[in-house]
């Protein structure tokens, strides 16, 4: 036990001082690093004085050295409590004066332990066992030390429960499990057993184990943020230990036989024995070590072969969905992952959503397209392992928490980005291995090669599908344009008392949105505007059906809700309740009374500029879209207009479509344009809105057909 204590205390001292120096050199400005260094230096004092105690057991200064051990112990426990105040890193720094207040009892106990004999009167060896004579203050010293440990552990638990940031919780789990348990072991072996049972055989063993466990967990959690390297270190240590044993055992066996006078070996000259050892070493280097390496890297070799074969086969695949699924399956199976999935940008929701998952079923939350992770991948077309997020302060210091939370929440270890037309198309997310082993540097390099090669094939497959889809749309547009040629009026009504202006921007070809007018007599006019989802023949047919039903409603024109109910019934029967998403707005204007009657079926409200108050009203009755419910009822609103009043009907695409900056045109911008040009004719107002909208969108395209209809009372 004496030799073990001597060796353990020496190596533990080296470990602690190295970790302390590394923390200071890495970032001495970081408050957490400084507090960690103080804690490590105090712990170094414990272990190094223990090493001196066992290395120079006959020294006359043995008692004084043990008093320094007591000083280091209480300072180590107190700085652990102080460290719990600043770890994990918060938005505000912990005040220095509070740290001094926390450490005052430790300073006092340290002074008494070193400058007086109240704590330890004498320390000496009886055989191989260390014996210390305690005085009355030692119980108070032990109480102070244990209080610091209990407070530190309690505060760690409190912060763990309170903090919701997952990366901080992960770090604290490592710290709490490693350090707290280690400090309890040290306290029991170095204080409780000697004090209550006068047993000092484990006096050094406890703090040494605590140093290996506690300092190691702190080092990975606080200083390097490189938790994945723990498994890598274990894997490499095991591999090198087996390699060393494979060569050590035969060499040791030959030397043992040579010196034990067994068999005929003692009769052989020493140079012959040396030659045999050299030959064994050469054979091991040439034949045995490669076999051991291959054993540890066999999955890596298999992975490389599978990836190379997959890349060759991917050149022949043109189906995008199939290629994504095969890629996820290959990565999951060849790397023996618990789970792997692909998230892809959805143009409709403008979010990155789960596209395909293999392995353990997990709930993957959508990712915002402007999130820090997506922005980083947009700038850096690189494979990103989790350990780099922890250690690379330059790239991830400001976004580490949000990025690491995505990794941790979805148990991801590596992300492979895929690009299409210079934008982030999606991300391959690779989870943990079945063995929990880390991704090796050679695997990351191979994944980087795989990412570049597969990106070419995936982007090519998507381009191929887009080309086919555009050809199909073009053919459908040709047919739908023929159907629509007689469905939309080519000339606007010219009626005394009210004038009109319109413009139409189709998403494809001639578009499918439908608008029309009813003239039941000389005293009024009915107007309808619709928004029909989709593209192609099926959507165009809805426009044809709407026109037929609308024109047959001429006798009901003054009753706006009756017209919408008729259209709703016709569309429901035509689609059997499974029609597309069709919204509509209908209004009837009586020229003689200047009264406007209106009803809405899910269309944006009519924006009405009133001359009298120089401001806008939104006219709406909040009905549901057409064709879903045959019993749906549509409200009817009434209002009187004045000469100079301007009404604007517009499809949702006008205000919802976003330009390259992600900005929407908005109702406010539309109102401003109308108000600034209220003296113009409605045709001019419509033209200006068209020009302003086109300039606002730039090279971006609207989400769907854009239709704007303007009327003005004259």
The larger pLDDT score, comparing residue 237 to residue 670, is at 670
Two tokens, residue 3: 């030799």
Rg (CA), the chain: 40
CA angle 584, 590, 591 (to 5 degrees): 125
CA angle 14, 18, 20 (to 5 degrees): 120
**Which pLDDT does position 224 carry in this prediction?**
47
- Over the chain, what is the mean pLDDT? 79
* 377, 427 contact by CB (below 8 A): yes
Integer Cα distance of 219 and 275 in angstroms: 45
The yes-or-no verdict on residue 496 having pLDDT over 50 is yes
Q: Which residue ranges does the chain devote to CATH 1.20.1070.10?
A: 2-224
**Which pLDDT does position 512 carry in this prediction?**
54
DSSP annotation of 658 reads B
The yes-or-no verdict on residue 30 having pLDDT over 70 is yes
Integer Cα distance of 43 and 45 in angstroms: 5
* 227, 387 contact by CB (below 8 A): yes
Q: What is the mean pLDDT of residues 387-416?
A: 84
Residue in this structure with the two tokens 């610091």, named with its chain if needed: 148
**Which pLDDT does position 6 carry in this prediction?**
64
Integer Cα distance of 136 and 131 in angstroms: 17
**Which pLDDT does position 15 carry in this prediction?**
73
Q: Classify domain 2-224 by CATH architecture.
A: Up-down Bundle (1.20)
Least confident of 51-55, 207-211, 406-410, 437-441: 207-211
Q: Band the pLDDT of 504: cuts 50, 70, 90.
A: confident
Q: What is the mean pLDDT of residues 143-163?
A: 86
The yes-or-no verdict on residue 230 having pLDDT over 50 is no
Integer Cα distance of 42 and 83 in angstroms: 12
Q: What is the pLDDT of residues 623-637, one digit of tens each?
A: 888 888 888 889 999
Instruction: Give the DSSP per-residue string, 585-636.
Output: EEEEEETTTTEEEEEEEBSPPEEEEETTTTEEEEE---BPPBTS-TT-----
CA angle 10, 16, 17 (to 5 degrees): 90
The yes-or-no verdict on residue 601 having pLDDT over 80 is yes
The yes-or-no verdict on residue 311 having pLDDT over 90 is no
The larger pLDDT score, comparing residue 191 to residue 29, is at 29
Integer Cα distance of 117 and 74 in angstroms: 16
Q: Band the pLDDT of 597: cuts 50, 70, 90.
A: very high
The yes-or-no verdict on residue 479 having pLDDT over 50 is no
Integer Cα distance of 479 and 547 in angstroms: 18
Two tokens, residue 646: 């301007």
Cα dist. 298→11, 94, 236, 294 in Å?
A: 34, 50, 14, 5
The dihedral through the CA atoms of 25, 31, 36, 37 has a sign that is positive
**Which pLDDT does position 434 carry in this prediction?**
81
**Which pLDDT does position 477 carry in this prediction?**
45
Q: Band the pLDDT of 33: cuts 50, 70, 90.
A: confident
Q: Which residue ranges does the chain devote to CATH 3.60.40.10?
A: 485-713
Count of all residues that appear for the chain in the document: 714
Least confident of 90-94, 220-224, 278-282: 220-224
**Which pLDDT does position 617 carry in this prediction?**
95
Integer Cα distance of 580 and 601 in angstroms: 14
**Best-predicted range by mean pLDDT (346-355, 508-517, 610-619):** 610-619
Long-range contacts of 661-670 (CB under 8 A, 24+ apart): 662/370, 663/696, 665/693, 665/696, 665/697, 667/607, 669/696, 670/607
Q: Which residue ranges does the chain devote to CATH 3.30.450.40?
A: 314-465
CATH superfamily label, 485-713: PPM-type phosphatase domain (3.60.40.10)
The larger pLDDT score, comparing residue 122 to residue 397, is at 122
The yes-or-no verdict on residue 13 having pLDDT over 90 is no
Alpha helices (H) in 491-559, listed in sequence order:
537-551
The yes-or-no verdict on residue 246 having pLDDT over 70 is no
The yes-or-no verdict on residue 91 having pLDDT over 90 is no
The yes-or-no verdict on residue 226 having pLDDT over 50 is no
The yes-or-no verdict on residue 599 having pLDDT over 90 is yes
Q: What is the mean pLDDT of residues 435-441?
A: 72
The yes-or-no verdict on residue 400 having pLDDT over 90 is no
Q: In what order do the strands lie in the sheet with 339-346?
A: 367-368, 351-359, 339-346, 423-431, 412-420, 384-385
**Which pLDDT does position 480 carry in this prediction?**
45
Query: For the structural domain made of 314-465, what CATH number should be given?
Result: 3.30.450.40
Cα dist. 334→245, 268, 384 in Å?
A: 31, 53, 19
**Which pLDDT does position 598 carry in this prediction?**
96
Q: What is the pLDDT of residues 528-548, one digit of tens each?
A: 998 877 544 455 667 777 777
Q: Band the pLDDT of 176: cuts 50, 70, 90.
A: low
* 648, 607 contact by CB (below 8 A): yes
The yes-or-no verdict on residue 515 having pLDDT over 50 is yes
The larger pLDDT score, comparing residue 489 to residue 488, is at 489
The larger pLDDT score, comparing residue 469 to residue 658, is at 658
The yes-or-no verdict on residue 179 having pLDDT over 90 is no
**Which pLDDT does position 656 carry in this prediction?**
87
Burial track 36-45 (b if 16+ CB lie within 10 A, e otherwise): bbbbbbbbbb
């Amino acid at each position: 036990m004496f030799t073990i204590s001597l060796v353990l205390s020496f190596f533990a001292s080296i470990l602690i001082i190295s970790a302390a120096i590394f923390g200071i050199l890495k970032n001495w400005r970081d408050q957490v690093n400084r507090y960690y260094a103080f804690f490590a230096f105090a712990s170094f004092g414990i272990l190094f004085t223990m090493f001196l105690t066992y290395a120079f057991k006959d020294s006359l200064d043995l008692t004084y050295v043990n008093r320094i051990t007591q000083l280091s112990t209480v300072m180590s426990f107190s700085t652990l409590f102080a460290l719990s105040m600043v770890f994990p890193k918060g938005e505000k720094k912990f005040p220095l004066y509070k740290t001094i207040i926390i450490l005052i009892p430790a300073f006092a106990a340290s002074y008494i332990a070193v400058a007086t004999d109240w704590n330890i009167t004498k320390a000496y060896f009886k055989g191989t066992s260390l014996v210390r004579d305690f005085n009355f203050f030692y119980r108070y010293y032990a109480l102070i030390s244990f209080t610091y440990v209990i407070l530190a552990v309690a505060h760690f638990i409190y912060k763990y429960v309170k903090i919701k940031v997952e990366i901080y919780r992960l770090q604290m789990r490592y710290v709490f499990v490693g350090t707290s348990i280690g400090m309890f072991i040290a306290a029991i072996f170095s204080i409780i057993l000697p004090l209550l049972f006068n047993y000092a055989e484990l006096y050094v063993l406890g703090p040494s184990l605590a140093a290996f466990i506690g300092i190691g967990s702190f080092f990975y959690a606080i200083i390097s943020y490189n938790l994945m390297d723990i498994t890598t270190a274990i894997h490499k240590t095991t591999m090198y230990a087996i390699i060393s044993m494979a060569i050590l055992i035969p060499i040791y066996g030959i030397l043992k036989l040579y010196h034990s006078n067994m068999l005929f070996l003692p009769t052989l000259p020493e140079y012959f024995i040396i030659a045999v050892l050299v030959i064994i070493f050469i054979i091991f280097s040439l034949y045995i070590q490669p076999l051991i390496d291959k054993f540890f890297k066999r999955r890596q070799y298999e992975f490389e072969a599978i990836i190379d074969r997959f890349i060759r086969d991917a050149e022949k695949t043109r189906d995008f969905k199939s290629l994504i699924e095969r890629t996820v399956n290959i990565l999951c199976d060849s790397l023996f992952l618990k789970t792997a999935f692909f998230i892809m940008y959805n143009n409709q929701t403008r979010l990155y959503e789960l596209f395909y998952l293999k392995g353990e079923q997990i709930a993957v939350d959508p990712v915002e397209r402007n999130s820090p992770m997506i922005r980083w991948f947009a700038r850096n077309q690189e494979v990103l392992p989790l350990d780099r997020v922890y250690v690379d302060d330059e790239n991830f210091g400001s976004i580490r928490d949000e990025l690491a939370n995505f990794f941790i929440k979805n148990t991801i270890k590596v992300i492979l980005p895929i690009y299409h037309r210079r934008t982030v198309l999606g991300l391959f997310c690779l989870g943990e291995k079945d063995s929990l082993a880390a991704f090796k540097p050679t695997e990351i390099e191979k994944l980087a090669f795989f990412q570049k090669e597969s990106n070419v094939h995936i982007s090519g497959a998507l381009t191929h599908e887009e080309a086919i889809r555009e050809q199909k749309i073009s053919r459908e547009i040709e047919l739908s344009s023929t159907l629509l040629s007689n469905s939309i009026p080519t000339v606007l009504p010219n009626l005394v008392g009210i004038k009109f202006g319109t413009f139409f921007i189709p998403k494809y070809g001639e578009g499918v949105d439908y608008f029309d007018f009813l003239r039941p007599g000389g005293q009024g006019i009915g107007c309808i505007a619709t928004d029909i989802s989709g593209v192609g023949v099926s959507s165009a047919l809805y426009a044809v059906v709407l026109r037929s039903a609308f024109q047959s409603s001429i006798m009901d024109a003054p009753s706006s809700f009756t017209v919408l109910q008729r259209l709703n019934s016709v569309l429901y029967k035509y689609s059997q309740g499974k029609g597309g998403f069709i919204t509509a707005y209908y209004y009837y204007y009586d020229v003689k009374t200047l009264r406007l009657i209106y009803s809405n079926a899910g269309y944006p409200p009519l924006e009405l500029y009133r001359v009298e108050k120089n401001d806008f009203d939104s006219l709406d009755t909040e009905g549901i879209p057409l064709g879903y419910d045959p019993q749906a009822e549509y409200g009817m609103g009434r209002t009187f207009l004045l000469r100079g009043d301007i009404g604007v009907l517009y499809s949702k695409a006008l205000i919802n479509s976003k330009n390259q900056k992600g900005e929407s045109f908005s109702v406010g911008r539309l109102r401003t344009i109308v108000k600034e040009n209220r003296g113009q004719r409605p045709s001019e107002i419509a033209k200006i809105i068209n020009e302003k909208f086109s300039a606002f969108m730039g090279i971006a395209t609207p989400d769907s057909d854009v239709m704007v209809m303007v009327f003005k009372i004259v």
